[in-house]
Each structure stands twice: as C-alpha cells, then as structure tokens.
Amino acid sequence: MKVERRLQKLNKQSRRLTSLAIGCGVAAALLLMGQAVLLSETINRVFLGNARRTDVTSLFVFMLILLFGRTALIWIADVINQRAASHLKRDLRGQLSEHILRLGPAYTVGERSGELVHTAISGVENLDEYTTQYVPARILAVIVPVLVFLAILVIDPWTSLVLLFAGPMLILVMALIGTQTKAISERRFEEMNWMSAFFLDILQGLPTLKLYGRSQEQTDSIRQISEQYGNTTMDILRTAFQTSLVMEWAATAATAMVALEVSLRLMNGALPFNQALAVLLLTPEFFLPLRQMALKYHAGTAGKTAADQIFSILDKPVENRPISPSTNSHPQRTPLSGDICLHNISLAYAEGKRPALNGISLTIPQGQTVALVGKTGAGKSSVAHLLLRFVEPDAGVISVGGLQITTVSADAWRSQIAWVPQNPHLFHGSVAENLRLARPHATQAELIAASQAAHAHDFIQALPQGYDTAIGEQGVRLSGGQRQRLAIARAYLKDAPFLILDEATANLDADSEALVRDSLVRLTQGRTALIISHRLHMVADANEIVLLENGRILEHGNHQTLLAQRGPYHALTQAYAGSAA
C-alpha cells in the first residue's frame, strides 16, 4: 500500500480533520471566485455604467462578507490541519514505540539506537509539515483549478483553451523536478539517521575515545558529516527554489497569454468588459494552487521519506507465535506453576543463517536450581531469551507444569520472572524509581527490605539524597558492583517464582562478587532458578549443571557426578582452575 494511503488509514480522526480542512480550503476558493466576479461587475457599473455609489453599495457589502468569510475559513483550515497532524503524530509515535517494544531485544540488538531514536522523534515530526501543508496543497491543486476552469469556461470558453494547455504543462514540469527532490530527501534523511547514530556512539564511547586519544578524530568526522548534511539540505532548498521559479515563470507566461488574447478581443468588441475583467482576475487563481504545491513539495517528499522509514519498522514481523487454542482460545490468566520443560528446542538468528540451539531438551524442576555452563556462543543466553520470550523457538515446545507458555500472554508470563542480566539497565532517575520498575506501588519499607537483602541499602544510604538520588543514565554515578546489587534488589522486590541469573557476577571485583554471590544465594532459595555463568564456583551448588556446546547438550548432572565422569565438564573445571591460578 502506498505511504499516503497508509497514513490516511492510520488515524480516522486525523483523516476526518484533514478532509474538513480541505473542505474549508475549497470553500475559501469559491468565495474568492465570488469576490472576483463581484469586483468585475462593480468596476463595470461604476466606470462604464456611470453608476452611483449607492447603486453598488450592496455589491461592496457582499464583497466584504466574502472577504471576512474567506479569511475565517483559511484560519480555521490552518487550525484543523495542525490538530490533524497532532493526532497523526501521536498515534504513529505510539504505534512505533509499541511495535519496537513488541519486537524486543532480538530486533533492537541488530539496529543502531541513534537511528531508531531519530526515526521515532525527528522522522515522525517531519509528518507535521506533510500533514498541515503538503497534503492540503496537493488536493487543492486538483480541486481548485478545476473549479476555476469551469467558472472561466462559463464566462469565456476561448480562454479556457489556454488554461487547458498551460495547466498540464505546469504539472509535467513539477513532476520532473519532483523526482530529483525525492532522491535528495531520501539521502538527507539517511544522512541524518547516520549522524544521529554516530553521535550517540561517540557519547556512549567517550571514555574509550579519550583513553586512546581518538576524540579529536571523531570530532572531525562529525564536522565532515555535518558539512555533507548541510550540502544536501542546500541541494533540497536549491531544487525547491528552482521548482518555484519555473512555476512562477510558467504561470506568469500563461497569465500574460490570457491577458493578451482577452485584451485583443475586448478592443475588438468581441468580449464585454465585465467578463474580460472577471477572467483576468480568476486566471491567477487557476495557477495559485499549483504554485503553492510547488512550494510545499519538498515538505511532502521529506514526510514521505520519513514515513517510508517508519513503516519499514512497523512492517517488521513480531517473532511471537499466536496464543495456543487451549482454554477456548483465550489466554490463560492464572499463574503457571510446576516444572519448566524445554522439549526438542531449536533456534536460529538472522533468518535461520546463524544457528543457536539445535534440538535441546531440558527440565528445570520447580523449586530447584539448574545451571548452564559452556563456552561463549554455546547457546546459554539463547535459552534465557527463550524463557523470557524475547524470541520464540523455530521448533519445539516450552511448557510449565505441562501447559505450553504460549497459553499465557508474553506480558503475563514475564510477570512471573525476575531477571538479573550481566549488564542490568538502569534508567536516568532516582534509585527508588529504578527499583520500583519491579513493583510500581512498593512502599519505602519494601524498598529498604529488598535493598538490605541485596546488600545495597548501606551504599544507597550513603548517597547524597539516599533513595531519591539521581543515578544518571545507565547508573553512571554507581560502580559496577553497586549497579549489580541494585538489579538484585529489583529482583527481590519483584518476588517472582522463577529467577534467571545471566552472568550476574561477571566483571566484578572480589569484594563486590562476594556480596553479590551471598545475595544471589538467598534470592534463589525457594524459587525455580536458572543460572548462567562462566565462573564455575557460582554453579557448583546447583541441583543440576548442564554443559552446552554449539547449541547441544554435552553433559548434565550435579557437580560431583560430572567431575567423576571426567568428561567435558571436568576438562572445563581444570581449565578454569588453571586460569584462576
């Protein structure tokens, strides 16, 4: 479906408002045509008919009424168009945000954050001028010239032949120039996308750039990109100016042709004065909507380019299977409990080109702890992402207590999971706000209890405003161990029956790891837990250890059993002991 049609179908209220605004524009054009006819009749009566002022008073009154009415209609149309744009942007930005959230980490991990942010903010904002200016101008450029042409056809059929030739010629010229404008607009949007992503990368990697002395080089790159973007913007403005100039020349030449042929027939007595004047007044109004569209054409191409990018994201399929038809085709609302079973699970990324799991079967008994170990890329985190329903398996079934988890909506299932990843995300806000992500209505006492259990309360109290202290983006004002303990406190606060720990102690110093490990041991008590770790001392106490390699299970059993078998797990522990020494 074309971009224009998709935008129209996106928001019914916006479409109705736009139609109403266009109706006001058409009505304003009709009033202007009425003014032209009344003005020509008034001048004819006064200068040629020797009419007195009282004889044309009524005509002056009608012209004033039409003038004020047209002014009011133009103002109303502008207000309505702005409201239509606001409704469209609100809904489109909401749908875009919702869809990106539904796509989840499996999609965003392969995209540049800066490009997504630019599309969701600036890209959607580009639709403002598209909705308020280009769309009305485009439709009025069709309706108004037709109305003016019909009026002139009635008044003077010979003049309509000139317009019948000039109108299509102007449209052809605008279409030829417009093709070039579209290509430049697409390039400009891509450059802004790239610049946004590049600048975000620089901000996030600023410490690394300073360390390696490459910050000035990146500054030069930004300067070059900005210069290129400025040149592209000037290309667009230059093309827009050329379009307007050509349209102005063409419209002026066509109007001059009309004036010439009307004047000749007027002097020969073949055309009455009032009709000749009416035609001369109406002819510029025939070309005005086309000239207005030429001025707004660059806004239209910029809006359509942004919409193309937005819809390319909205068209990304969500890799969630439909809810199973069990329980009468309604999602199960009650929490699931029991053993978590993965049966013959296969998963591949990049449209099947990058296999991650190959037919694994795994059971996590209720109330017990299962650990996944193996080399990087063995598939450990893929298991966690499947259980978090960030991705869905290509084959196989995941069930809890004998029921498939697809009988529960993804949000309802995740409400039963607490997750502590290797690099927990902390938002720009206070400590309390970050903790309350797990339970929005948690009391201060509950925050303190969860923080104490995670060994986080003491350092939080030492912050300038305690739990109300702003911790900065990504918790930049905290150490790695403090960020990890906040994530564990968040998991305590959620108090979910199923716990996933994905490299929760990686990259921590010995003191921080000891505190985190103690809090994690207490956190797993009484819960069904899945632990993923390279540090084998973190998994030694698990009820069962599963060794993965290349997406397959090589061994499983408890720590002592696997050591006694002297297989791959034993070799892994020996290698770990050697690296630790």
Print pLDDT tens along the chain (581 aa): 577 778 777 778 888 888 899 999 999 999 998 888 888 888 888 777 777 777 778 888 898 999 999 999 999 999 999 998 888 888 888 888 888 887 777 677 666 777 778 788 888 888 888 888 888 888 898 899 899 889 888 888 888 888 888 777 777 766 666 666 666 777 777 777 777 777 777 776 766 666 556 667 777 777 777 777 777 778 777 777 777 777 777 788 888 888 888 888 888 888 888 888 888 888 888 888 888 887 777 777 778 888 888 888 888 877 654 444 333 334 444 456 788 999 999 988 877 778 888 889 999 998 888 989 888 888 888 898 888 888 888 888 998 888 888 888 888 888 888 888 888 888 888 889 989 988 888 899 999 998 888 888 888 898 889 989 888 877 778 888 888 888 888 888 888 889 888 887 766 667 777 777 777 778 888 888 898 887 777 787 888 898 988 888 888 888 888 888 888 888 887 776 655 44
The β-bridge partners of 397 are 343
- Report the C-alpha gap between 245 and 252 in whole angstroms: 10
pLDDT of residue 80: 92
pLDDT of residue 23: 92
pLDDT of residue 138: 86
- Topology at the third CATH level for domain 340-580: Rossmann fold (3.40.50)
Cβ atoms 128, 78 nearer than 8 A: no
Report phi then psi at 417, rounded to 5. Answer: -120, 135
pLDDT of residue 481: 81
Q: Output the furthest CA–CA distance in the chain (Å, rounded).
A: 121
Convert 303-315 to b/e letters by CB count within 10 Å (16 or more is b).
bbbbbebbbebbe
Cβ atoms 547, 553 nearer than 8 A: yes
Pairing type for strands 552-557 and 544-549 reads antiparallel
CATH class given for the domain over 3-314: mainly alpha
470: number of Cβ within 10 Å? 14
State pTM to two decimals: 0.68
pLDDT of residue 228: 79
Tokens of 246: 């050509």
Cβ atoms 576, 373 nearer than 8 A: no
For every residue of 509-560, DSSP letters joined together read -HHHHHHHHHHHHHHHTTSEEEEE-S-GGGTTTSSEEEEEETTEEEEEE-HH
Instruction: List the 528-532 sheet strands across, edge first.
Output: 417-420, 498-502, 528-532, 369-374, 544-549, 552-557
Instruction: Give residue limits of the domains in the chain.
Output: 3-314, 340-580
Q: Which residues contact 337 (CB under 8 A, 6 or more apart)?
A: 366, 400, 401, 497
Angle at CA of residue 349, ends 345 and 354, nearest 5°: 95
pLDDT of residue 321: 46
